[in-house]
C-alpha cells in the first residue's frame, strides 16, 4: 500500500511515517509549503527532510501557497471583518490537508494519506460507513479540528498515532533518535507571526481596525475600541474600561463597528444556530437528537439537544449555560468517542 504522509517536522507526523514504514508500506513523505519562503527552507521543512532521509523514504516539498492564501488566510480575514472568530485549522484541514493534498497524493500514486493527528478512523462493520473517533490520549485528542472532514475523505485517511498516548509517541521518537523528540508543541496559528492576531489582521485589512465605541448592553458608550478585529466573545483583558466589576466582551456588532460588554454572567448562553454542518456518523437527523457538544477546542463537552432545520443548519440548546459561545468557532457533536458531526456557529441564542 502506497501512503503519503504529511510531515510537519514535528514529533507526531515523524512517528506516523516511521510506524507505517515499519509496517512495510510504501511511504512517501511530503511537507506542504503554505507560507512565503526566505529561500533557506523553514525549520519544518529541514526537520521533515532529515526524518525522511533517516527513514529512507522519498520526500517532496509541495507548494500550496496560493490555495492556502485563497482558502484559509482570506477566509480568516473575512470572518474577523464580520465580527466572527474563525478557527483556521478546521478550514485548512478540510480544503488543504485532506483536500488539495489528497489530489496531489493521487498524482503520486498514493492509495492513502496519513497525518500525525491524535484521532482515529474506523469503518462501521454494519454500515460500511467511515467514522471519526477521538484519539486514545484524550488530553491530546484533535478530533474537534477534523469535524468538517467528509466520509469520503476519511475513507482514504490514516492517523497512525491516534491509538498512542503522547508520552508513547515521544518515547518512540527518542528511540528513532530524532533530535527534536522533546520539542515543545506549538499552539500558535502557523501564519500569524508571534501570535499577534491584531497586527496580522491590521496589515491585511486595515479598514477593519477602525476605532469605534465600546457599549454596554443598553447602548451606553463606555469607551473606544481599537478595531473589532482585536476582540472576541468572552474576552476580558485589554478593554481599557474602569468599572465596578470586571467586564467581558458579550457581542461584536460589525454593522455599528461596536464592541458590546457586560458582566461575566452575560457571556453565558444556552442556545445557538450553526451552519455548514457536516454529518459523519449519521445522516442528517430528521428528529431532535441528544448529544454531547463542545463549542471550542478547550471547552468541556456538555449535554445538548440538536434540532435540524429545513435549510440544513441546526438549532442547539444546552442543558446548562455555556460560556463564550462564539460565532465563527466550530461546534462538534459527540456520542461517546465518536464524532457525529460538526458545524460552524453562526449566531448565539438566548442568554441564561
Q: Return the active site residues.
A: 92, 190
- Answer yes or no: are the C-beta atoms of 324 and 267 closer than 8 Å: yes
Burial category of 139 from C-beta neighbours within 10 Å (exposed 0-12, middle 13-18, buried 19 and up): exposed
Nearest by Cα to 163 from 1, 7, 23, 343? 23
Residue the block writes with cell 448562553: 269
All three cell numbers of 166: 503522547
β-sheet bridge partners, residue 345: 274
- What length is written for the chain? 352
Residue the block writes with cell 511515517: 17
- Answer yes or no: are the C-beta atoms of 338 and 308 closer than 8 Å: no
Q: What is the DSSP string of 245-294?
A: S--EEEEEETTTTEEEEE-GGGGEEEEEEEEEEEESSSSPPSS-EEEEEE
* CA angle at 48 for the pair 44 and 53, rounded to the nearest 5°: 150
Residue the block writes with cell 523514504: 57
Amino acid at each position: 500500500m502506497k501512503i503519503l504522509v504529511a510531515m510537519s517536522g514535528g514529533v507526531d507526523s515523524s512517528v506516523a511515517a516511521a510506524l507505517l514504514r515499519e509496517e512495510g508500506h510504501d511511504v512517501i513523505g511530503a511537507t506542504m509549503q503554505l507560507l512565503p519562503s526566505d529561500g533557506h527552507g523553514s525549520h519544518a521543512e529541514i526537520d521533515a527532510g532529515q526524518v525522511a532521509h533517516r527513514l529512507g523514504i522519498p520526500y517532496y516539498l509541495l507548494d500550496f501557497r496560493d490555495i492556502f492564501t485563497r482558502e484559509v488566510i482570506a477566509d480568516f480575514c473575512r470572518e474577523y471583518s464580520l465580527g466572527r472568530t474563525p478557527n483556521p485549522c478546521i478550514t485548512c484541514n478540510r480544503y488543504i490537508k485532506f483536500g488539495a493534498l489528497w489530489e496531489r497524493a493521487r498524482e503520486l500514486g498514493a492509495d492513502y494519506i496519513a497525518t500525525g493527528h491524535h484521532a482515529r478512523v474506523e469503518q462501521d462493520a454494519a454500515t460500511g460507513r467511515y467514522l471519526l473517533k477521538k484519539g486514545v490520549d484524550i488530553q491530546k485528542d484533535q478530533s474537534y479540528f477534523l469535524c468538517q472532514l467528509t466520509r469520503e475523505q476519511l475513507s482514504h485517511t490514516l492517523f497512525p498515532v491516534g491509538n498512542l498516548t503522547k508520552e508513547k509517541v515521544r518515547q518512540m521518537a527518542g528511540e528513532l533518535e530524532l533530535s527534536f523528540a522533546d520539542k515543545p508543541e506549538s499552539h500558535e496559528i502557523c501564519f500569524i507571526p508571534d501570535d499577534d492576531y491584531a497586527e496580522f489582521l491590521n496589515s491585511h485589512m486595515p479598514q477593519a481596525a477602525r476605532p469605534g465605541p465600546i457599549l454596554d448592553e443598553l447602548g451606553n458608550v463606555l469607551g473606544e475600541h481599537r478595531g473589532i478585529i482585536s476582540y472576541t466573545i468572552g474576552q476580558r483583558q485589554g478593554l481599557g474600561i474602569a468599572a465596578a466589576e470586571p467586564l467581558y466582551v458579550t457581542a461584536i456588532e460589525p454593522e455599528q463597528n461596536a464592541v458590546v460588554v457586560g458582566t461575566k454572567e452575560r457571556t453565558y448562553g444556552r442556545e445557538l444556530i450553526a451552519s455548514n454542518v457536516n454529518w459523519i456518523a449519521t445522516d442528517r437527523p430528521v428528529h431532535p437528537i441528544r448529544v454531547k457538544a463542545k463549542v471550542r477546542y478547550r471547552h468541556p463537552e456538555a449535554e445538548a439537544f440538536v434540532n435540524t432545520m429545513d435549510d440544513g443548519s441546526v438549532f442547539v440548546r444546552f442543558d446548562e449555560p455555556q460560556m463564550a459561545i462564539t460565532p465563527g468557532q466550530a461546534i462538534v457533536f459527540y456520542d461517546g468517542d465518536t464524532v457525529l458531526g460538526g458545524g460552524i456557529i453562526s449566531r448565539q441564542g438566548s442568554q441564561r
